[in-house]
Amino acid sequence: MSLMRLAVYPLLFTVLCLLSLASCASQGVMLVHPQSGSTMKCGAASVGFMAGVADGFVEECLRSYEHQGYVRVEKLTPEQRTDLERRGILPKPDEPPERTM
């Protein structure tokens, strides 16, 4: 190998390591049990080379709760949403969520 190639590999390795440390992931999904009104949030945040793990953790959490009857808020039927809004579990769409300080 040429001397030039030997000098490029450590530089390339260093750049890839720095990029992997700079990456991050954060996500959260709200779920609600239509009958009980119980709510749950599946979420994860990670930094660096573990950023990809957050997606897997959230997906596993979602599968577990969906198996128990929870539904993602964005996938509620109009009837379920209306019932949960009437019961005060979800805010009505035209009402902004309350903010406290």
Chain segment 57-95, per-residue pLDDT in tens: 888 999 999 999 999 999 999 999 999 999 998 876 655
| Of 31, 29, 27, the residue nearest 67 (C-alpha) | 31
So what's the pLDDT on residue 82? 92
pLDDT tens for residues 6-48?
A: 555 666 556 555 444 445 556 788 999 999 999 999 988 776 6
The model scores a pTM over 0.75? no
Distances (CA, A) of 46 to 54, 61, 80: 6, 16, 33
Distance CA 35, CA 44 (A): 26
